[in-house]
């Protein structure tokens, strides 16, 4: 019984975490320096009835980063949206930069955060 309960919890955790995925278009570094560029592809799995105007609820926040270029959200299949981002590491008082992607609507809340270590 414990085995099945553990398996069920693992499946739920994987499904929740898989709602927003971040893919590095260039290899992820252990540490970045000021001026480095990071290229990302963000994929968001939403409810199938989400439309282009509904994706305006998806927000991207950055700290220690500057968003150089970004595409609009594009639906690649029913309920699966993509966005490309080009980020620039900028000066900050911390040794860490971060990007936060979130979408909150009545029927679902999605959240993902990526951290980037900065060497001074």
Residue ranges and CATH numbers for the domains of the chain are 20-117 (2.60.40.10)
pLDDT tens column, 41-94? 999 999 888 888 888 889 999 999 999 999 999 999 999 999 999 999 997 778
Question: 109-117 and 96-104: which strand pairing?
Answer: antiparallel
DSSP 5: H
Work out the burial of residue 36: count CB atoms within 10 Å of its CB; fewer than 13 is exposed, 13-18 middle, 19 or more buried. middle
User: Which pTM was predicted?
Assistant: 0.79
Q: Residues near 102 by Cβ (< 8 Å), separated by ≥ 6? A: 58, 59, 61, 109, 110, 111, 112
């Amino acid at each position: 019984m414990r085995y099945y309960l553990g398996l069920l919890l693992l499946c739920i955790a994987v499904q929740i975490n898989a709602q927003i995925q971040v893919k590095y278009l260039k290899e992820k570094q252990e540490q970045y320096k000021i001026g480095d560029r990071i290229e990302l592809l963000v994929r968001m799995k939403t409810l199938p009835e989400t439309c282009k105007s509904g994706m305006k609820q998806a927000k991207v926040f950055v700290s220690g980063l500057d968003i150089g270029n970004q595409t609009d959200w594009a639906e690649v299949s029913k309920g699966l949206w993509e966005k490309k981002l080009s980020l620039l590491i900028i000066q900050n008082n911390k040794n860490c930069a971060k990007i936060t992607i979130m979408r909150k609507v009545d029927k679902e809340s999605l959240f993902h955060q990526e951290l980037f270590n900065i060497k001074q």
